[in-house]
Amino acid sequence: MKLGAVFPQIEMPADPIIIRDYAQAIEEMGFDYLLAYDHVLGANPDRPGGWKGRPYSYTDPFHEIFVLFGYLTGLTKTLEMVAGVLVLPQRQTALVAKQAAQLDVLSGGRIRLGVGVGWNDVEFEALNEEFSNRGKRQAEQIELMNELWSKPLVTFNGEFHTVSDAGLNPLPVQQPLPVWFGGYADAALRRMARLGAGWFPGSQTPEKAGPTFNKIREYISEAGRDPASFGLDPWVSNSRSKRSDWTPLAKEWQQIGATHLALETMRCGYSIDQHLDAAKQFIEEVGEFQT
């Protein structure tokens, strides 16, 4: 398994030097990748219509994911940058394809694009995109992006997108550029089985994610693809598990078929140094188990 760290964005100061130092420290420890979440806007919990019980609000900082990765790929050498996940249907498809391709070129192929349909209707409203049909649009978005990433000229006439003999330049280094999925609904599982390179089960336990991953592999076979080529990238939450559980959890995930495993250190009240201390212990213990 490749090992990653979840960028502690809601506890990260808006200081470019601290962000740089964090990413470089993660790379120096031997992590393979850095995973970051995506939100453009946070809502006011006291807004008309309510917002109680949502995981994030306007008080939680989120760096724009393409800008963040553009910054960090120029400051690192080997660290893969992983969007886990980008809310694709709230963004313009051709622009996302361009941004991802550009990052892939400038980083030397160190980009992995995870996508999801999102849950924050306030963001969709503000970005002038339709919330109700986001799943259906996501499938067409990925089909179009794959065309744009692989061909110099594309003509595409879909239900939601039209491209008339145009293309991206430069094309991404990775052919194909990997698109991974978040999501749990059956429609999302079938979509990722047909179009995706892997699945992010989030902080689900191996016991809960295992049957879902088996189902995805069945759908992959039905789609005429090789299940062995499909990845699994869960994360271990430091706030929900003991450090003594990390290696046993890593072994469980590996038995299920995980190709990646990340550590998430938020919601523990940590300073940046404490986030890094936890990451160091994780890479030493879980990395040792793999050797």
Each residue's pLDDT tens digit, 79-105: 999 999 999 999 999 999 999 999 999
pLDDT at 240: 83
pLDDT at 48: 84
pLDDT at 283: 95
Each residue's pLDDT tens digit, 192-235: 999 999 999 988 999 999 999 999 999 999 999 999 999 999 99
Mean pLDDT, the chain, as a whole number?
Answer: 94
Whether 291 shows a pLDDT value over 60: the answer reads: no
Whether 55 shows a pLDDT value over 60: the answer reads: yes
pLDDT at 243: 87
Is residue 179 within 8 Å of residue 113, measured between CB atoms? Answer: yes
What pTM was estimated for this model as a whole? Answer: 0.95
Nearest to residue 18, comparing CAs of 270, 272, 266? 272
Q: In what order do the strands lie in the sheet with 198-200?
A: 231-232, 198-200, 179-182, 111-116, 80-87, 33-36, 2-6, 260-264, 235-237
Paired tokens of 148: 């744009």
- CATH code assigned to 2-290: 3.20.20.30
pLDDT at 290: 65
Predicted confidence band at 149 (pLDDT cuts at 50, 70, 90)?
A: very high
Q: Would you list the domain boundaries of the chain?
A: 2-290
Paired tokens of 191: 């979509």
Whether 289 shows a pLDDT value over 80: the answer reads: no
Distance, CA of 122 to CA of 133 (rounded, Å): 15
Predicted confidence band at 241 (pLDDT cuts at 50, 70, 90)?
A: confident
Looking from the CA of 114 toward its CB, the CA atoms found within 13 Å total 25
